[in-house]
Structure 1
Amino acid sequence: MPFIATLTLNPAMDLSVGTARVVSTDKLRCSLPRHDPGGGGINVARVVKTLGGKALAVYPAGGPFGELLQRSLDELGLVHRPVPIGGDTRESFTVDELETGLQYRFVLPGPSLAPQELQRCLDTLAALHPTPHYLVLSGSFPPGVGIGFFDELLALTRRIGARLVVDLSGEPLAYAASQGGIYLMKPSLNELASIMGHPVTDAARQEEALRSLIARGSAEIVVLSLGAEGALVACGEHLERVPSPDVPVLSAVGAGDSMLGAIVLALAEGRELGAAVRCGVAAGAATVMRPGTELCHREDVQRLIAELGRTGL
């Protein structure tokens, strides 16, 4: 099976708790905390492994949470290559308000990365054997990482013959879209609007925006994540909407990463694009069914894929 590698420049240990209500100045009695390794590329690799694929995660790690992150990935049996750094890996946390069903997500900044630490990340990827068929860059850029890092990573993927998959936001995403050379890009609605410079809330504008990105060579495939509405995918002249199954929503944490992991794995397995995106939509839906920072379960993904097939979606 083709090998999938991921790069997470700003990983985190994700903590999730529940409390009856979030009230200012009160002491909030919380449930027992749950810790999960997090960060875009790490979540993608975890989902690939959960669904039976072969993935390896590369990420910078330092300090107590960096050590906890490494131990957690060992316990999950995920193949990973931590890159030692001088700073401390961050922690982020999610609070579920049990009386209302609302969720509060607190995303903390990560440590600054020095140029030599970034270079070690690239060197680690270049030294992977076997060479990955797909390289997924997912998550935020931490302090100290300029948008020019994308050029170095793109050059590396070309040297090793890997397909570059991108799930970024903000300035790094806009820059990546302007440079092109991407195999697959997965923006959200807000991220797509930031690239295009105008709202893309209606279906016609969404389709026009994806066609524009394909036409100007930003990516070979663009998958627009639409949350509960599923996804819109474009490749060449092909344009397809994939609705999402109706599922109970407990937490949105990691849903987009789960979608991307399942899509890349399905493409690596040789599935056609529409089927791959249906796998991704099913994985995203299976993740929102889980509490806190827990990701999808394989049996849920398989059941939802079968449901999409039965309903003709």
Structure 2
Amino acid sequence: MKKHKIVTLTVNPALDKSAHFSGLVPEQKIRCEAPLYDAGGGGINVSKAISRLEGTSLSVIASGGPSGEMIKEILNKESISFQSIETKNLTRESFVAVDDNTNSQYRFNFPGTSVTDAEKNEIIKTVEGLEAEFIVVSGSLRDGLSVDFYQQIAKIAKKSDTKMIVDTSGEGLKKVLETGVYLIKPNVGELAKLIGVERLEMEEVNDAAKQIIEKGGAEIVVVSLGPQGAVLVTKDSYDYVPAPNVAKKSTVGAGDSMVGGMVWALSQNKNLKEVIRWGVACGSAATMNEGTQLFKLEDAKRLFEWLKDK
């Protein structure tokens, strides 16, 4: 059994298309420039972020059809190691369109197709057969997978002493907390739902995160605050990191870039102060690029240097 430092799991990948156009007019043909294609979906984006930081990971994906084949071709071109569970139904697509007249961005995300019980079992079997220090579960569930599917992965991780990092939402995240994982990354709204309140003010975030930690849901809670930055909370620490002021072009993949930066830093044995700052640096750097490009290494490094003393 080959050991991997980091494994990412994407059960609902997407073939991302992005294009520019000029002027959105109802009932008329909107002529777009030639599209750019990219491999997308939470875990895939995390693996891409790790690769940009000159790290390595194994990306486990469930893909099928021509769009699934195109995702695999893109991952091969980017030299990202992957293991694919083939699905009968084709992989979904997403589309990002930018209006050059207004610089407005339109994001179209389509639902994933369903997976069969046999395919679900193959995903679980694949994860059970891997040995890793960290496993990152990121992105939405697709039809055919129950809300406790990520919880099943959490039980496998706990049994194998693998540190599990989760970036999802809704009932799937709630079920994961019943088993307990190493790190979760909700935003403020998601954190409020997890503790059963309508909303949270900034000064309430620390106590809310600690509630989850005290119940054994996670060892570390990283709360994304959007343009305000992020906080990292453990049972005995609280660290707020402001987001650097950058010229934003797209928010696509910013959250996944943040997770990628953090898990890469963890895999490099960096302390938690550095971990959260690498996360914010990579997430902010991703917003500086158009479409689904994630971030450039030089931008992430520069922003991290700025954040080191913040």
TM-score, normalised to structure 1's length?
0.95
Deviation at 1:2, TM superposition (A): 6.7
The percent identity for this pair of structures is 37
Where in structure 2 are the equivalents of 1:150-229 lying within 5 Å? 150-177=150-177, 179-229=178-228
Matched, 1:276 2:275: yes
Match of 2:5 among 3, 6, 16: 3
Matched, 1:58 2:60: yes
Where in structure 2 are the equivalents of 1:25-174 lying within 5 Å? 25-128=27-130, 131-174=131-174
Deviation at 1:189, TM superposition (A): 2.2
For 1:158 and 1:214, the matched residues in 2 are separated by 16
User: What's the RMSD between the two structures over aligned residues?
Assistant: 1.4
Where in structure 2 are the equivalents of 1:229-268 lying within 5 Å? 229-268=228-267
For 2:303 and 2:250, the matched residues in 1 are separated by 17
After superposition, the C-alpha distances for 1:149-201 in whole angstroms (9 at most, x for unaligned) are: 12321221123221111001122112223x14210000112222322232434
- The answer (yes or no) to whether the contact 1:37–1:69 under 8 Å persists in 2 is yes
- The answer (yes or no) to whether the contact 1:2–1:268 under 8 Å persists in 2 is no
Letter in 2 for 1:120: E
Structure 2 counterpart SS, 1:112 = coil
Deviation at 1:275, TM superposition (A): 1.1
After superposition, the C-alpha distances for 1:267-293 in whole angstroms (9 at most, x for unaligned) are: 111111121100000000110000001
For 2:104 and 2:246, the matched residues in 1 are separated by 17
- The answer (yes or no) to whether the contact 2:151–2:175 under 8 Å persists in 1 is no
- The answer (yes or no) to whether the contact 2:154–2:176 under 8 Å persists in 1 is no
- The answer (yes or no) to whether the contact 2:13–2:92 under 8 Å persists in 1 is yes
For 2:304 and 2:4, the matched residues in 1 are separated by 22
For 1:96 and 1:195, the matched residues in 2 are separated by 34
Structure 1: 4+ residue segments shifted above 6 A: none
Deviation at 1:208, TM superposition (A): 2.1
Deviation at 1:231, TM superposition (A): 0.3
TM-score, normalised to structure 2's length?
0.96
Give the unaligned 5+ runs of structure 2: none
After superposition, the C-alpha distances for 1:130-161 in whole angstroms (9 at most, x for unaligned) are: x2100011000001110121232122112322
Letter in 2 for 1:151: Q
Deviation at 1:127, TM superposition (A): 2.2
- The answer (yes or no) to whether the contact 1:200–1:206 under 8 Å persists in 2 is no
Structure 2 counterpart SS, 1:246 = coil
Residues 20/190 of structure 1: CA separation in 2 closer, same or farther (3 Å cut): farther
Give the unaligned 5+ runs of structure 1: none
- The answer (yes or no) to whether the contact 2:154–2:179 under 8 Å persists in 1 is no
For 2:115 and 2:152, the matched residues in 1 are separated by 15
Letter in 2 for 1:270: N
- The answer (yes or no) to whether the contact 1:2–1:269 under 8 Å persists in 2 is no
For 1:180 and 1:256, the matched residues in 2 are separated by 24
Deviation at 1:83, TM superposition (A): 0.4
Structure 2 counterpart SS, 1:15 = strand
Deviation at 1:92, TM superposition (A): 0.6
Deviation at 1:49, TM superposition (A): 1.3
Letter in 1 for 2:147: I
For 1:21 and 1:121, the matched residues in 2 are separated by 43
